[in-house]
Amino acid sequence: MNKINGLKIRARDLRIFLFTEVLTVPVVILIFKFIEPKSHAGIVAGLFFVLIGALLVLRNFSWVNYKKSPVFWLSCVHLFLIALPMLVFRFMNLDIPFEEVRILGLEGPVLHKISENVFMCLIVSTFGELTYVRYQQNKLAE
């Protein structure tokens, strides 16, 4: 695959990632608005976050030099250190309020705040990498 085609594929993927990441926020808000009890809403939202993380990580593997991508690494952090542990611990502790659950040694709300920050970094990183890839495409087109 030549460099121009590789950049086109990467730019397309990054646009899809960015759209999906931004759309995730209102979807999760709606999940918590309409699904009761909150523990079940948390599981549905958790499944959604795991699905998003898996999509990003798996799709990144098709990129040339994916190991140099900040989006790849933040996707891995999001999936393996945040979304999956939160989901597993929510399943294991359905009858305990989330505020009382300890996940990886952290209280549930503390890990949730970290997860919000990681996800925001992922969105910013995706936007930054997309901007960089588009710059590279324009540079090669000259």
- Per-position pLDDT tens, the chain of length 142: 556 677 888 899 999 999 999 999 999 999 999 999 888 999 999 999 999 999 999 999 888 788 999 999 999 999 999 999 999 988 888 888 888 888 878 888 999 999 999 999 999 999 999 999 999 888 887 7
Residues in a beta bridge with 103: 106
DSSP state of 81: I
User: What's the confidence (pLDDT) of residue 104?
Assistant: 78
**What tokens does 16 get?**
């899809």
DSSP state of 69: -
3-state secondary structure of 107: strand
Amino acid at 39: S
User: What's the confidence (pLDDT) of residue 2?
Assistant: 59
Task: Write out the E strands in 1-142.
Answer: 102-103, 106-107
User: What's the confidence (pLDDT) of residue 105?
Assistant: 85
User: What's the confidence (pLDDT) of residue 66?
Assistant: 87
Give the position of tokens 């646009």: 15
Give the span between the Cα atoms of 4 and 10, in whole angstroms.
Answer: 10
Model pTM score: 0.90
**What tokens does 95 get?**
């009858």
CB 31 within 8 A of CB 40: no
User: What's the confidence (pLDDT) of residue 8?
Assistant: 86
